[in-house]
């Protein structure tokens, strides 16, 4: 029987959505009402849920479908979506990208004001570590270390700083460094966390990180293409915003055709790393291709 990636993604996404909602439900009555509303608004606003799906696919590549019954796997998937959502809330702020829409809805600061948006992002990030430590599996300490490394100053936040600095270099090397941390680190974290949660060895963790970095780099290059020629109705935000903001992009440096080719080459490399883990890695293999086979 051939593998149906779309069906796998739909089922996995349903599980992630349910787990996210259950996690926030546990906080009802314990948080200030507006903070709870702002957290739910952004976290449960839909989206591709790509990063938690990568967590689940990476775990499945080594432990099979039974990995879904491992609480540490789903907690890692929940945690990565909380980190990602916090980063989007803060990215959209006027001091950063100044976006009005996210996932087809008004951005958090447009809905709740800047102060509440900042605090909702802070709360989501902090709760990540409550989620990661709510079980007793030995891997949870290592998961916390991975999350701190990839989402913090040495990872995603460092990339955000590079992306907003006034002392940027208009070069592909500089943009590669930005995107390795800003986008690549969260996908590297997603892949590594899935493996870590099912107890793979350090060598495989490092291979998964490499796969994630390649996927993240290709994802960002394809995002840059879509920002030029994508459909705003599908993307949930206006096209051309990067150019209007004067942001450094791959199409602006090397052109659309070269950007597409570079993204495809990275996915080919990622797939070559995944190949030895087949057939359990069918979902991960499919998700790698999805980085560049999308319209939003």
Residues spanned by the domain of 164: 5-290
Residue with tokens 């994802």: 219
Q: Is the pLDDT of residue 238 over 70?
A: no
Q: Give the pLDDT band of residue 275 (cuts 50, 70, 90).
A: very high
The structural domain count of the chain equals: 1
**What CA–CA distance (Å, rounded) separates 50 from 140?**
22
In a domain, 53, yes or no: yes
In a domain, 199, yes or no: yes
Q: Is the pLDDT of residue 239 over 70?
A: no
User: What pLDDT score was predicted for residue 67?
Assistant: 93
In a domain, 180, yes or no: yes
Each residue of 179-223: pLDDT tens digit? 999 899 999 999 999 999 999 999 999 999 999 999 999 999 999
Under a CB-based contact definition with an 8 Å cutoff, are residues 61 and 106 in contact? Answer: no
The better pLDDT of the pair 28, 209 is held by 209
Query: Hey, which of 24-38, 207-221, 227-241 has the most confident mean pLDDT?
Result: 207-221
In a domain, 68, yes or no: yes
The contacts of residue 268 (CB under 8 Å, 6+ apart) are none
Taking the whole predicted model, whether its pTM rises above 0.75 is answered as yes
**What CA–CA distance (Å, rounded) separates 264 from 131?**
35
**Residue count (the chain):** 296
Under a CB-based contact definition with an 8 Å cutoff, are residues 147 and 83 in contact? Answer: yes
Nearest one of 214, 217, 218, 225 to 251, comparing CA atoms:
225
Each residue of 80-118: pLDDT tens digit? 999 999 999 999 999 988 889 988 899 999 999 999 999
Residue with tokens 């009555």: 29
In a domain, 296, yes or no: no
The contacts of residue 226 (CB under 8 Å, 6+ apart) are 235, 239, 294, 295, 296
In a domain, 163, yes or no: yes
In a domain, 165, yes or no: yes
CATH of the domain at 274: 1.10.600.10
Alpha-helical regions (H) of 198-255: 202-229, 232-235, 241-244, 250-254
In a domain, 105, yes or no: yes
Mean pLDDT of the residues in the chain: 92
């Amino acid at each position: 029987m051939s593998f149906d990636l779309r069906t796998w993604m739909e089922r996995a996404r349903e599980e992630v959505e349910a787990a996210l909602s259950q996690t926030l439900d546990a906080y009802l009555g314990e948080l200030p009402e507006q903070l709870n509303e702002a957290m739910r608004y952004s976290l449960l606003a839909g989206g591709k849920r790509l990063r938690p799906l990568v967590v689940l696919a990476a775990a499945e590549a080594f432990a099979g479908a039974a990995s879904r019954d491992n609480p540490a796997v789903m907690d890692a998937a929940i945690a990565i979506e909380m980190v990602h959502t916090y980063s989007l809330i803060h990215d959209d702020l006027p001091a950063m990208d100044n976006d009005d829409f996210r996932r087809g809805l008004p951005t958090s600061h447009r809905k709740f004001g800047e102060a509440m948006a900042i605090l909702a992002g802070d709360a989501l990030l902090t709760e990540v570590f409550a989620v990661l430590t709510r079980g007793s599996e030995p891997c949870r300490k290592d998961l916390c270390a991975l999350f701190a490394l990839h989402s913090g100053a040495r990872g995603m936040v460092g990339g955000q700083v590079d992306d907003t600095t006034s002392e940027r270099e208009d070069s592909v090397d500089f943009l590669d460094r930005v995107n390795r941390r800003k986008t690549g680190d969260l996908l590297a974290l997603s892949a590594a966390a899935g493996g870590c949660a099912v107890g793979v060895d350090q060598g495989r963790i490092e291979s998964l990180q490499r796969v994630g970095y390649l996927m993240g780099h290709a994802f960002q290059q394809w995002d840059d293409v879509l920002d030029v020629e994508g459909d705003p109705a599908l993307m949930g935000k206006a096209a051309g915003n990067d150019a209007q903001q004067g942001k450094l992009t791959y199409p602006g440096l090397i052109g659309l055709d070269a950007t597409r080719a570079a993204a495809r080459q990275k996915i080919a490399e990622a797939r070559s790393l995944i190949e030895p883990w087949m057939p359990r890695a069918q979902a991960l293999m499919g998700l790698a291709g999805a980085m560049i086979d999308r319209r939003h």
